[in-house]
Amino acid sequence: MRKKRIQLDRRQFLKASAGAAGFVGVSGVVGSVSTIIGTNAPSVLGAEKVKRYRTALLGCGWWGMNILNEAMAAGRSDVVALCDVDGRHLKAALATVEQKTGQSPKLYKDYRELLEKEKPEIAIVATPDHWHPLMTIDACRAGAHVYVEKPISHTIREGRAMVQATREANRVVQVGTHRRISPHNVSGMEFLRSGKAGKIGMIRAFVLYGGGGPEKPEPNEDPPPDLDWDLWCGPAPKRPFNRKIHPRGFRNFLDYANGTLGDWGIHWMDQILWWSEEQWPKQVASVGGRPILGPPVNDGKQQTTDAPDHQIAIYQFDGFSVTWEHRRFGGNNAEKTRPDQPVGVYFYGTEGTFHMGWLDGWTFYPANPKKPVLHEDAQLHQPDAQNIKELWADFLQAIETGRRPVCDIEIGHRSTTMSLLGMLAWKLGRGIRWDGQKEVCLGDEDANRLLERPYRAPWQYPKL
């Protein structure tokens, strides 16, 4: 079957993007040149009065610096403060900011002190997941607009508290689900919504990475001298310090994140909700475990991760069904859309199968073998193949126009909730029925207790 490569010209792409604006459920037009194409066009306030924002970064690790680098490149931020509990991250971030801007931001370990003293107009929250809720809520209440990384929360009720705090403070909160504005995702949504794939009855989202055998425990040790480990753990349980957790290993420790479904899953669950305009599933079930990595270890002397090494989740909507599957073992080129990228979403329709990918763009495989395969390449930025530039431009435009951003906090909450419901069902070992309007599991007190968790003193869980 021959493959026909689709290349949208500027006019076609903007038309598709403007159509996609209706899918995200926000006011205002998403498909502007400055927002979608990512150019640094003059502010709507007028080129002679372009506003610069006092900007602070909370969480100066790898991804936080990816975001801040795009903020600096946009030329609209004065970086006034950096915050991280790891002094090594602070030192590296400071050197980057000074080299790129000539600015010398103040350095903090406690974000509360930063918010009080520096009064930023924009706060970027790029910490581990368990810190997102408190930092976002406190930043909004301090008067800042917020760009918060996904997933927005560790538990579902934290997410609802974040939405409420955003609305009460009348702030713009953009969630880092940049695939909502990636060119091939926007045009792919236009293709799906046009009906060219037919009626979609089933969707399969997946992340299938290979790996080795049983996980070897890593000995615990004293935290590095520049790391405030107690503050790193914050409201979450305080485990002994272990290099498997920090830096960058926290996502597979369930005290601080929600495994692969909580990390990767939100991107693909978000694509499904975007396409369908649904807000939540009605029923959720999940199975999985650690048959390859082995039982988790945390005996006071050594640790392993404790997230499942594979998981299957099933989501039932009124008009279609969704499956999620991930695997951290048994990599297989037969299951990959390209050798270095076994991720994406398959939409199965009456006219064919549509794959929304990442590095490889999107591809449509017609049911009729006489029709050509259609494909559009991705348009991504380095490092790390992302579209933060476009999402940041949309963020600034939303602040200046008063509209809600493409990845508004409510949208991020719904996509995060979908992933967290899969984890909740896995922890319970059985299915649940979800009332998305009230955000409770129907007739299931055991499940409802998992919608939040106790915070470690003196931190207080955000209440509605």
Q: Which residues of 432-454 are buried (b: 16+ CB within 10 A; e: fewer)?
A: bebeeeebbbeebeebbebbbbe
Residue showing tokens 């006219």:
351
Which is more confident, 25 or 166? 166
Residue type at 50 in one-letter notation: V
Residue-wise pLDDT tens digits, 341-381: 789 999 999 999 999 999 999 999 999 999 999 999 999 99
Residue-wise pLDDT tens digits, 98-148: 999 999 999 999 999 999 999 999 999 999 999 999 999 999 999 999 999
| Surface-to-core class of residue 381, CB atoms within 10 Å of its CB (0-12 exposed, 13-18 middle, 19+ buried) | middle
Q: Residue 464's pLDDT is what?
A: 84
Model confidence at 64: pLDDT above 90: yes
Confidence band of 262 (pLDDT split at 50, 70, 90): very high
Closest CA to 418 of 439, 448, 446, 443: 439
Q: Residue 17's pLDDT is what?
A: 40
Model confidence at 47: pLDDT above 70: no
Over pLDDT 90: what percentage of the chain? 85
**Which uninterrupted H or E stretch holds 157?**
helix 156-169
Q: What is residue 397's three-state secondary structure?
A: helix
Confidence band of 330 (pLDDT split at 50, 70, 90): confident
User: How many Å apart are CA 287 and CA 452, to the nearest integer?
Assistant: 21
Q: What is residue 20's three-state secondary structure?
A: helix
Model confidence at 15: pLDDT above 70: no
Model confidence at 162: pLDDT above 60: yes
Confidence band of 49 (pLDDT split at 50, 70, 90): confident
Model confidence at 197: pLDDT above 90: yes
Confidence band of 211 (pLDDT split at 50, 70, 90): confident
Q: What is the DSSP letter of 271?
A: H
Mean pLDDT over each residue of the chain, to the nearest integer: 91
User: How many Å apart are CA 453 and CA 448, to the nearest integer?
Assistant: 10
User: How many Å apart are CA 427 and CA 429, to the nearest integer?
Assistant: 6
Residue-wise pLDDT tens digits, 401-443: 999 999 999 999 999 999 999 999 999 999 999 999 999 999 9
Query: Do the Cβ atoms of 93 and 60 come closer than 8 Å?
Result: yes
Query: Do the Cβ atoms of 285 and 314 come closer than 8 Å?
Result: yes
User: How many Å apart are CA 311 and CA 427, to the nearest integer?
Assistant: 11
Per-residue tokens: 350 = 């009456």
Model confidence at 395: pLDDT above 80: yes
Q: Residue 5's pLDDT is what?
A: 54
User: How many Å apart are CA 464 and CA 452, to the nearest integer?
Assistant: 12
Q: Residue 22's pLDDT is what?
A: 36
Query: Do the Cβ atoms of 72 and 97 come closer than 8 Å?
Result: yes
Model confidence at 32: pLDDT above 50: no
Q: Residue 174's pLDDT is what?
A: 98
Model confidence at 252: pLDDT above 80: yes
User: How many Å apart are CA 432 and CA 427, to the nearest integer?
Assistant: 11
Per-residue tokens: 153 = 């929360």
Residue-wise pLDDT tens digits, 266-282: 999 999 999 999 999 99
Closest CA to 388 of 151, 187, 124: 124
Report the chain's terminal Cα–Cα distance, integer Å.
55
Q: Residue 48's pLDDT is what?
A: 58
For strands 200-208 and 343-349, give the pairing.
antiparallel
Q: Residue 31's pLDDT is what?
A: 41
Query: Do the Cβ atoms of 375 and 191 come closer than 8 Å?
Result: no
Residue type at 26 in one-letter notation: V
User: How many Å apart are CA 51 and CA 75, to the nearest integer?
Assistant: 10
Sheet with 106-108: strands ordered across = 106-108, 77-83, 53-58, 122-125, 145-148, 173-175
User: How many Å apart are CA 391 and CA 284, to the nearest integer?
Assistant: 31
Which is more confident, 20 or 455? 455
Q: Where are the beta strands (DSSP E) in 290-372?
A: 302-303, 310-316, 321-327, 343-349, 352-356, 362-366
